[in-house]
Amino acid sequence: MTTTTWTLLAAVLAVALLLVLVIWVKLQAFVALLMVSIGFGLATGVDALELVDLIVDEMGGGLGQVALVIGLGSVFGEVLQRAGAAQRLASTLVERFSDRNVAYGLGFAGFLVSIAVFIDVAIVILVPMLYGIARRTGKSLLFYGIPLAAGLSVTHTFIPPTPGPIATAGIMGADLGLVILFGVLCGVPAMLVAGPVFGRFISKRLFVPVPEELAAGQADDASDGNPLPSFASVVGALLLPLVLILGGTTADAVLAEGSVPHTVLSFIGHPVIALLLTCLYTLYFFGVRRGASRDELQALSTRALGPAGVIILITGAGGVFGGLLVESGVGDTLADWMQGMNMPIILFGFLTSAVVRISQGSGTVAMITGATLTAPVAELMGVGGGMLALTCIAIACGGTAFSHVNDSGFWMANRYFGMSVADTLKSWTAMKTIVGLTGCAAALALSTVVS
């Protein structure tokens, strides 16, 4: 067996072992990724002591910006959640859209809410708000719930500063401003097709009544006890980090380097500074100004960093595995194979992420693993700029699609929509798959005009 053949076989076995450890052994993904990285390194002939140094270097080297942005974004989201931002957005958009077009309002509400609020939390908060509307109109709960869930799904996995796309962009080395731009361009059509369009289709064929046991004990208001914040203030807070980051990307493209406007916009548009400014803004206007004490804000921020820490560690471990793939030469082999097959790297990123998603369920783990396998190939093929950002979106699409019984989100939808497993597969799984496939198709289309 040649060295190249063994290296490829070792890579395949490493991915298979990762899935076994996560799915069957139930090992935390961070620990599993480290174990697989060590096993792969030793199997491909890396010196044991050099392997340890490489792991430490790769773990630290890839986490600087990612860790800071995910941590700051988590605090930002937690503050907005406690202030009742999700309820304000959803209720205002529902009021402003007619009954005929309310599905579009709910889709855009989900799209905005998920910039800051984790999708599972948003489902718990927002789906019970739909019970009254569904009762009043007599329509299937899916007519309203699918558009909302599609909007939540798109932003949660396509657009920074949510953890999945931040981690993917960090591993791939993509410009966050471009990832945001293409996330919106690919995400809006995905939300419209999987949300209002599919929601109207499936609600005519599958009537889901309001689950009476949940409606009777409808979730308490998740806000901080004060009146809900204004619609404009919530939208402003959600768009602030995106505008700042996009401003920094635009400055790099159109302004002379070293000029005062370029320096200022690049500084405040750096993802870390943009999220820090946004975090401070929300802590003051949605915390201090609403009567929260310093102790309450400290406790809230500390609680928000718990889930962020897990994602940061998984991202770092994914970077370790990716670094070892580069060292082993697997990236060269895969790049040659893709060029021989004439496979676009966007499609490769989608497929690798989708395989992991189907196998183990977690969209975040699928995106990180997909990025880990795709990054060395992209580097060797010289992919950069817009194409690299589009590849990040394709990886996100693979991590979104094909949600089924091994995904916690599947069971959240199953419970809060009060559906059977079969009906959840027909509605939720189909919606998530349409989001992924539509987003990937949009990324492929954009790749024809983006270099």
DSSP 42-81: HHTT--HHHHHHHHHHHHHHTTHHHHHHHHHHHHHHHHHH
The gap between the terminal CA atoms of the chain, to the nearest Å, is 39
Residues 185, 186, 189, CA angle at the centre, nearest 5°?
95
Which structure tokens are listed for 79? 């503050």
The DSSP call for residue 218 is P
**Is the pLDDT confidence value at 18 over 70?**
yes
The DSSP line for 265-313 is: HHHHTSHHHHHHHHHHHHHHHTTGGGT--HHHHHHHHHHHHHHHHHHHH
Q: Which residue has the tokens 């340890």?
A: 52
Residue-number span of the structural domain to which 323 is assigned: 3-447
**Is the pLDDT confidence value at 193 over 80?**
yes
What's the average model confidence in pLDDT over 260-285? 89
pLDDT band at 267 (very low <50, low <70, confident <90, very high): very high
Residues 6+ apart with CB under 8 A from 78: 300, 301, 303, 304
| Main-chain phi, psi angles of 249, to 5 degrees | -65, -40
Q: How far from the centroid of its chain's Cα atoms is residue 402's Cα?
A: 15
Tell me, what amino acid is at 330? V
Q: In 3D, which of 399, 345, 349 has the Cα closest to residue 371?
A: 349
Which structure tokens are listed for 276? 């820090």
Q: What is the pLDDT of residue 9?
A: 85
**Is the pLDDT confidence value at 257 over 90?**
no
Query: To the nearest whole percent, how much of the chain has pLDDT over 70?
Result: 94
pLDDT per position as a tens digit, 199-226 = 999 999 999 888 876 655 554 445 555 7
Comparing 221 with 128, which gets the higher pLDDT? 128
What's the average model confidence in pLDDT over 64-72? 80
Q: How far apart are CA 400 and CA 354, in angstroms?
A: 8
Asked if 196 contacts 99 with a C-beta cutoff of 8 angstroms, the reply is: no
pLDDT band at 197 (very low <50, low <70, confident <90, very high): very high
What's the average model confidence in pLDDT over 399-420? 88
Asked if 366 contacts 354 with a C-beta cutoff of 8 angstroms, the reply is: yes
Asked if 372 contacts 319 with a C-beta cutoff of 8 angstroms, the reply is: yes
Comparing 177 with 59, which gets the higher pLDDT? 177
Could you give the 3-state DSSP secondary structure of residue 419? Answer: coil
Q: What is the pLDDT of residue 71?
A: 85
pTM of the complete model: 0.84
**Is the pLDDT confidence value at 398 over 80?**
yes
What's the average model confidence in pLDDT over 2-21? 81
**Is the pLDDT confidence value at 116 over 70?**
yes
> What value does the mean pLDDT of the chain take?
85
Asked if 372 contacts 169 with a C-beta cutoff of 8 angstroms, the reply is: no
Q: How far apart are CA 450 and CA 171, in angstroms?
A: 21
Which structure tokens are listed for 69? 């942005």
Which structure tokens are listed for 18? 């990762």
> 145, exposed or middle or buried, with CB in 10 Å at 0-12, 13-18, 19+?
buried
**Is the pLDDT confidence value at 388 over 60?**
yes
* Cα-based distances in Å from 21 to 32, 260, 415: 6, 52, 28
Among 168-182, 193-207, 328-342, 389-403, name the one with the lowest average pLDDT: 328-342
Q: How far from the centroid of its chain's Cα atoms is residue 278's Cα?
A: 19
pLDDT per position as a tens digit, 327-352 = 777 766 777 777 677 788 999 999 99
Q: How far from the centroid of its chain's Cα atoms is residue 400's Cα?
A: 8
Comparing 185 with 56, which gets the higher pLDDT? 185
**Is the pLDDT confidence value at 300 over 70?**
yes
Q: How far apart are CA 374 and CA 318, in angstroms?
A: 11
User: How many domains in the chain?
Assistant: 1
Longest dimension (CA), the chain: 69
Tell me, what amino acid is at 1? M
Q: What is the pLDDT of residue 219?
A: 47
Could you give the 3-state DSSP secondary structure of residue 402? Answer: coil
Instruction: Please provide the size of the chain in residues.
Output: 451
**Is the pLDDT confidence value at 265 over 60?**
yes
Comparing 286 with 98, which gets the higher pLDDT? 286
Q: What is the pLDDT of residue 61?
A: 64
Q: In 3D, which of 366, 344, 365 has the Cα closest to residue 355?
A: 366
**Is the pLDDT confidence value at 313 over 50?**
yes
Q: How far apart are CA 397 and CA 353, in angstroms?
A: 8
Q: How far apart are CA 196 and CA 151, in angstroms?
A: 10
Q: What is the pLDDT of residue 62?
A: 60
**Is the pLDDT confidence value at 75 over 80?**
yes
Query: To the nearest whole percent, how much of the chain has pLDDT over 90?
Result: 25
